[in-house]
Amino acid sequence: MSTILNRFYKNQGSIYKVLLCIVSTILIVYLFPKSGKFQFDFQQNKPWQYDNLYAPVDFAILKSQDQLDQEKAEVENNIIPYFIYDHDIANEAKAAYENQFASVFTDSIFRDRQRELKAFGLKIIDEIYKYGVVNDLTAFQEGRKIYLRRGNEIEETSIENLNTTDEITALINRKLVNGPYVQAVNRFKELFFDVVQPNVTYDEKLTNKELNAEMSKIAPTKGVVNKGSRIVAKGEIVEQSTYQILKSLQAEYESQTWTASKYNWVVFGYVLLVSVALTMLLLFIKTYRELVFENNTKVTFIFFNIILMVLFTTLIVKYDANYVYVVPLCILPLVIKAFFDSRLGLFTHVITILLLGFIVPNTSEYMFLQVIAGIVTILTISELYKRANLFISVGQITFIYIIGYFAFHIIHEGTVENLEWETFSTFIITGLATLFVQPLIYAYEKIFGLVSDLSLLELTDTNSKLLKDLANKAPGTFHHSLNVANLAEAAANEIGANSMLVRVGALYHDIGKMVNPTDFTENQSTGINTHEDLSPRESARIIIDHVINGIEIARKNNLPDRVIDFIRTHHGTSTVYYFYKKAQEQDEDVNIEDFSYPGPLPFSKETAILMMADSVEAASKSLKNPTSVLIDSFVEKIINKQMDENQFLNATITFKEIQVIKKVLKSKLNNIYHLRIEYPE
Given a contact cutoff of 8 angstroms between Cβ atoms, the answer to whether 604 and 612 are in contact is no
Contacts of 5 (CB under 8 A, 6+ apart): none
SS3 498: coil
SS3 112: coil
Q: 678 versus 471: which is more confidently predicted? A: 471
Distance CA 373, CA 433 (A): 14
Mean pLDDT over 207-235 rounds to 84
Topology annotation, domain 453-672: Hypothetical protein af1432 (1.10.3210)
Distance CA 42, CA 362 (A): 7
What region does 252 belong to: left with phi over 0, alpha with psi -120 to 50, or beta? alpha
Distance CA 369, CA 29 (A): 24
Distance CA 610, CA 566 (A): 7
Q: 361 versus 677: which is more confidently predicted? A: 361
Contacts of 528 (CB under 8 A, 6+ apart): 518
Mean pLDDT over 459-471 rounds to 91
pLDDT one-digit tens code per residue, 296-354: 999 999 999 999 999 999 998 888 777 888 899 999 998 998 888 889 999 999 999 99
Where in the chain are the domains?
2-34+261-448, 82-202, 453-672
pLDDT one-digit tens code per residue, 276-312: 999 999 999 999 888 789 889 999 999 999 999 999 9
Contacts of 276 (CB under 8 A, 6+ apart): none
Q: What is the pTM of this model?
A: 0.64
Bridge-based pairing of strands 145-150 and 82-85 is: parallel
pLDDT one-digit tens code per residue, 497-534: 888 899 999 999 999 999 988 888 888 777 677 777 78
Given a contact cutoff of 8 angstroms between Cβ atoms, the answer to whether 408 and 47 are in contact is no
pLDDT one-digit tens code per residue, 622-659: 777 778 888 888 899 999 999 999 999 988 899 999 99
Angle at 514 between CA 511 and CA 515, to 5 degrees: 120
Least confident of 111-120, 140-149, 209-218, 566-575: 111-120
Q: Quick one: pLDDT at residue 677?
A: 47
Listed residue (405, 305, 319, 311) closest to 43, CA to CA:
405
Contacts of 158 (CB under 8 A, 6+ apart): 143, 144, 145, 146
